[in-house]
Structure 1
C-alpha cells in the first residue's frame, strides 16, 4: 500500500499538462474572437463610416459651390469663364442616373487626399485632363468604388447610350456612353489620353472618361467607361434639368 501511494504524484503530470494546454487554448480563443471583432470594426469603418464622413464633407463643399454660383451674378465683378470658379471647393457636379449615386461634386486632382472627400476628381497627371468647356479633349475623372463615398461603386451598371451629365454654373454638358473597358492595368494611362484609342475613337473630340478600381474592394485593376459629348444646354433661372435627368 505504501508503494502505491508513493507512485500517485507521478501520475498527475499528464493532468497538469492538459490544464496548461486548456488554458492556452482558452486564451487563444479569446484572442481570435477579439481579433475578429477588431477586424469587423475596421471593415465597418472602411466600408460604411468613411462613406458617411465623405458624404457629409462632399455635401458641405457642394453647398458652398452652389452658394458661389448664386453670388456670381453678371456685373458684380464675378468671374465669367466656367473654369474661373475652379477653387478648392469644386468646378461642378457629375450626374450619372444609371449609377444611382446622386450628384457628385468634381474637384481638381485624382489623389487619395482629394477622392477621400467623397468626390470625383479630374486628372492633372500623368495626363492632364481637358475640361468640358474646352473645344476638344478628354474630361477624365476618377472616384472611389468602395469606401470614402464610393461614388463610382455602380460603374458596372453603365451601358452604351446611357447619359452622363456634367453641370456647371451656366451650362449642362450631356454625354452619351459609347464604350467600356472592364479591366485594365492601373498603369495604362492611354485610357485617359486626349484621344482614347482603346475606346475605338481615333480623332479628336469632346470625350469624358470615368475611371475607378476593380474588382470591387480591391485596387488591382482599373474599370473604364467612355462617353462623348452630344450637346450642351444653357442653365435657365430655375436650373431646369436636361431631359436625361428628369
Structure 2
C-alpha cells in the first residue's frame, strides 16, 4: 500500500480521541451502575439477612431466659425499661403482616432497630408498657432493610389482632384506626391518649409506626389498637386464638 493510501485510511485524530473518551465514559457508567446495584442488594436484602439472623439468636436467648425462674423486678410495673437492658421485653405478633414474631426492645434509634427488632419509644414521648394500668405502648420498626419488620403495615386493617407476648402473659389488642400518612414530626400520634386515632380518654393502647412511602422515610404510617383482653401463659405456651 502506498504512503498516500495509508494516510487516507488512518482515522482523523479528533475522532480517535472522541471514541476513546466515549468508551471510557461507557465503562465508568457500567461500573457505577454495578456499584449502585450492589448497594441496593446490600440495603434491601443482605441487611435483612443479617438482622433476621441476629434477632432470631437474641429471641432464642430471651426464651431460654424465660424458662428459668424470673429475677426480682420490683419496679417493672411502673418503669418502662426496667425489665430491659440489651435484651427484650417480649414478642410482637401481627398475623396480618405475616412477618412472624418480632422481638421488642427499648429505644427507637437506628442502633436498636437495625438489629431487626421493634423498639418502644423513650423519647420524645415516653411509652407505657402493656402491663401498665393505662397508657400507650408505642412501637417503631423499619419498613425496608434491616429486617423490615413493619414492611407490610399497610396490610393491617381495622379489626385485626395485634398480640404482645411476655414471659407470663398474652396481651391481645384489636386495631381500631389507621393513619396512612402523617409528618415524621407529628409526635401526637404516640401520646398516651392518641386523639388523632379518635380516642379521647385514657385506655390501654398500642401504636405501630414506620416510614412511608415504601423505600423512603419522608412520612410516617401509623396503626392504633386497644387492649381487649389478657391471657395467662400456660405451661405449653399455647397462643391465644388470634394466633391459631
- Partner secondary structure for residue 71 of structure 1: coil
> C-alpha separation between the residues in 2 aligned to 1:137 and 1:55?
30
Q: Larger helix proportion, structure 1 or 2? A: 1
Match of 2:162 in 1: 164
- Which of 216, 221, 224 is the equivalent residue of 1:223? 221
- Partner secondary structure for residue 67 of structure 2: helix
Match of 1:130 in 2: 128
Q: TM-score, normalised by structure 2?
A: 0.92
1:87 shift after superposition: 2.7
> C-alpha separation between the residues in 1 aligned to 2:11 and 2:84?
76
1:67 shift after superposition: 1.1
**Structure 2 alignment gaps of length 5 or more:** none
Match of 2:185 in 1: 187
- Partner secondary structure for residue 227 of structure 1: strand
> C-alpha separation between the residues in 2 aligned to 1:45 and 1:87?
29
1:89 shift after superposition: 1.1
> C-alpha separation between the residues in 2 aligned to 1:200 and 1:15?
76
- Partner secondary structure for residue 12 of structure 2: helix
> C-alpha separation between the residues in 1 aligned to 2:169 and 2:28?
58
Match of 2:38 in 1: 41
1:14 shift after superposition: 7.4
Match of 1:236 in 2: 234
> C-alpha separation between the residues in 1 aligned to 2:174 and 2:118?
18
1:142 shift after superposition: 0.1
Question: Where do 1:69-80 residues align within 5 Å?
Answer: 69-72=66-69, 78-79=72-73
Question: Where do 1:103-182 residues align within 5 Å?
Answer: 103-182=101-180
> C-alpha separation between the residues in 1 aligned to 2:152 and 2:69?
34
> C-alpha separation between the residues in 1 aligned to 2:207 and 2:94?
12
1:97 aligns with 2:86: no
Tell me the alpha carbon deviations over residues 48-96 of structure 1, each in whole angstroms, 9 at most, x when there is no partner: 00000000110111011111111125xxx55475765323110000000
- Which of 13, 21, 45 is the equivalent residue of 1:16? 13
- Partner secondary structure for residue 228 of structure 2: strand
How many residues are treated as equivalent by the alignment?
A: 236
Q: Which has the larger radius of gyration?
A: 1
CA RMSD, Structure 1 to Structure 2 (Å): 1.7
Tell me the alpha carbon deviations over residues 156-180 of structure 1, each in whole angstroms, 9 at most, x when there is no partner: 0000110000000000000000000
- Partner secondary structure for residue 190 of structure 1: helix
Match of 1:56 in 2: 53
Tell me the alpha carbon deviations over residues 76-133 of structure 1, each in whole angstroms, 9 at most, x when there is no partner: x554757653231100000000000000000000001100000000000000000000
1:31 shift after superposition: 0.4
> C-alpha separation between the residues in 1 aligned to 2:10 and 2:197?
74
Q: TM-score, normalised by structure 1?
A: 0.92
Match of 1:196 in 2: 194
